[in-house]
Amino acid sequence: MSEVSNSYLSATYNLKAVVQETGLKPDTLRAWERRYGLPDPDRTSGGHRLYSERDIDILKWLLARQDEGLSISRAVALWRSIIDEGENPLETMRIDSAESDPLPIIVGETLNQLRDAWIDACLEFDEQTAETILSQALALYPAETVCFDILQAGLSTIGRQWYEGETTAQQEHFASALALRRLNTIMAMSPPPTREGRILIGCPPGEEHTFPPLLLTLLMRRRGWDAIYLGANIPLARLEATLEHAHAQLVVLTAQTLPTAATMLELAELLDEHNIPLMYGGLAFNLNSDLQKRIPGHFLGKDLRSAPLALERLLNAPHTVASADNVQKASAQYQAALGHYVSKLSHIEAEIWDTFLLEPGDHSYLMQANRDLSRYIIAVLTLGNINYVATTLDWVHGLLVNYDYNVPEQALNAYLKAYYQAVATHMDERGALLTTWFEHILNISHNSSMNGKS
């Protein structure tokens, strides 16, 4: 063996040096050694551990496999399988330890500490540290625990901070992208399905929040189910074409907002026509349980952790389709109001622009505000209950004032009054639902009457 090889195998690094080089905590190193025998350091006469350069490379190799989505136990199994084949894992799956910078040291190993550290790294756009934290977490906890208590909880915290104006949309998007990438990596390592039955999981039209359905897909795959993730914003035509080829036993959709709960209704009715059961969930239904009366399907429940059990109960049930005949449908009055509102929407928004362009000040928020408010109005008319807006109105108000548009309170009230006047001007008696609602939230006298223009 050459002198270089002897140096490479020589046990010369103490525990502190290895911690600094790998970013792993001492307790993690000891746990890996105790459970898996990797690495296998020498000992001084006083019982202190001494590591070789090869031991450090082994640890970096294991960390690299974790970055690819493997748990530590599966990474160790892969290492040993390569050894059993007579190959050197450090050669067949190389790590560039000579040129790479040392991984950062992560302080703390409790879930709360790891979650807080991950949030801080995301807010600093520190991708390497954020990924290292997740690798360390996966070395200490099951993948499901990391997904719920670090990724989901972390995104929830960052989302709340964004809503309150404490973080930027770019920071929230960066964190979401890292979380989704990690979920996809873990899911790619899932074993083949062992249970019969195919599940399609995704989001209704307009819904872009993909973390919950992607996490649910991962959970079902890890339980042996053939779960197919369809992604965000599933158009009706795409779902119908997929149903023809996938032979799904169950479809799962999640909606986080009232407008996407409304777009889910059309997909749900399509599934009912095909006699395919639907399970649905999401923040929109958690905030307003009455929405469950409007969707022909089965509610997943408020806690995503328990959703796999709910899905399995439904899959094992002999009769699983919830008929559209058993749901509350929008009345003829609401259907008429919806059609009339959509036909007059361009006139309503044009009048709002004309009203505000005559006033001094920054009106850049108008386009987004018009888009959002019209989506909510269409949603409540589609679902058949104008009062559903009340459950989300405070949230939308906070979004407008706190962060999204930074609209002053006075300007927001003026905008809602202008919208009310435009609705009253351009809609006939079919718009009474809307004018009455605007009068209520603006405390306008109910003696106000519409102009009666069509």
Q: What would the pLDDT profile of 310-322 be if each residue is shown by its tens digit?
A: 999 888 875 555 5
Amino acid symbol at 17: A
**pLDDT, tens digit (0-9, with 9 covering 90-100), for 134-166:** 988 888 888 889 999 999 999 999 988 887 778
**Rounded to an integer, what distance in angstroms lies between the CA atom of residue 88 and that of residue 377?**
63
**pLDDT score at 219:** 93
**pLDDT score at 323:** 52
Average pLDDT value over all residues in the chain:
83
Whether the CB-CB separation of 39 and 89 falls below 8 Å is answered with no
Number of separate domains in the chain: 4
Residues 6+ apart with CB under 8 A from 320: 250, 277, 298, 314
Range of the domain at 292: 195-326
Amino acid symbol at 187: M
> 47 versus 276: which is more confidently predicted?
276
Joined tokens for residue 211: 């973390």
Residue 36, domain member (yes or no)? yes
DSSP letter string, 185-197: HHHHTPPPP-SS-
**pLDDT score at 330:** 92
Boundary (domain end) residue, out of 92, 127, 146: 92
- Cα–Cα distances in angstroms (integers) from residue 190 to residues 38, 208, 296, 331, in the given order: 24, 24, 31, 46
Same-domain check for residues 232 and 344: no
Residue 101, domain member (yes or no)? no
Q: Which residues of 310-322 are buried (b: 16+ CB within 10 A; e: fewer)?
A: bbeebbeeeebbb
Same-domain check for residues 299 and 233: yes
| Bridge partners, 252 (sequence order) | 201, 279
**pLDDT score at 435:** 92
Q: How many CB atoms lie within 10 A of CB 101?
A: 6
Q: How many CB atoms lie within 10 A of CB 435?
A: 20
Boundary (domain end) residue, out of 127, 154, 187: 187
Whether the CB-CB separation of 123 and 148 falls below 8 Å is answered with no
Confidence of residue 362 (pLDDT cuts 50, 70, 90): low
Residue 97, domain member (yes or no)? no
Residue 216, domain member (yes or no)? yes
CATH value at residue 172: 1.10.1240.10
The fraction of the chain above a pLDDT of 90, given in percent, is: 39
**pLDDT, tens digit (0-9, with 9 covering 90-100), for 172-206:** 999 999 999 999 988 888 888 888 889 999 999 99
Joined tokens for residue 17: 């040096």
3-state secondary structure of 50: strand
**pLDDT score at 15:** 87
Q: How many CB atoms lie within 10 A of CB 352?
A: 21
Same-domain check for residues 358 and 237: no
Same-domain check for residues 375 and 356: yes
Joined tokens for residue 145: 């625990």
Helix spans in 147-257 (H): 153-163, 169-188, 211-222, 236-246
- Cα–Cα distances in angstroms (integers) from residue 254 to residues 54, 211, 275, 440, in the given order: 48, 10, 19, 31
Average pLDDT of span 338-356: 93
Same-domain check for residues 235 and 322: yes
Same-domain check for residues 200 and 257: yes
368, pLDDT greater than 80: no
356, pLDDT greater than 90: no
> 226 versus 8: which is more confidently predicted?
226
Same-domain check for residues 123 and 30: no
Residue 355, domain member (yes or no)? yes
Residues 6+ apart with CB under 8 A from 339: 430
- Outline where DSSP puts E strands in 91-166: none
Same-domain check for residues 183 and 200: no
What is the Cα 183 distance to its own chain's centre? Answer: 10
Q: What is the pTM of this model?
A: 0.70
294, pLDDT greater than 60: yes
Same-domain check for residues 313 and 221: yes
Residue 103, domain member (yes or no)? no
CATH value at residue 261: 3.40.50.280
**pLDDT, tens digit (0-9, with 9 covering 90-100), for 18-34:** 888 888 888 889 889 88
3-state secondary structure of 229: strand
> 199 versus 64: which is more confidently predicted?
199
**Rounded to an integer, what distance in angstroms lies between the CA atom of residue 354 and that of residue 405?**
20
Residue 451, domain member (yes or no)? no
Confidence of residue 93 (pLDDT cuts 50, 70, 90): low
Average pLDDT of span 358-384: 82
Boundary (domain end) residue, out of 306, 326, 346: 326
Average pLDDT of span 72-79: 85
Segment among 47-61, 96-110, 315-329 with least mean pLDDT? 96-110
Q: Comparing C-alpha atoms, which of 7, 64, 72 is closest to residue 36? A: 72
109, pLDDT greater than 60: no
Same-domain check for residues 307 and 428: no
Average pLDDT of span 328-333: 92
**pLDDT score at 228:** 94
**pLDDT, tens digit (0-9, with 9 covering 90-100), for 217-274:** 999 998 899 999 999 998 888 888 888 888 888 999 999 999 999 999 999 999 988 8
Same-domain check for residues 134 and 239: no
Residue 106, domain member (yes or no)? no
Whether the CB-CB separation of 228 and 253 falls below 8 Å is answered with no
Same-domain check for residues 9 and 62: yes
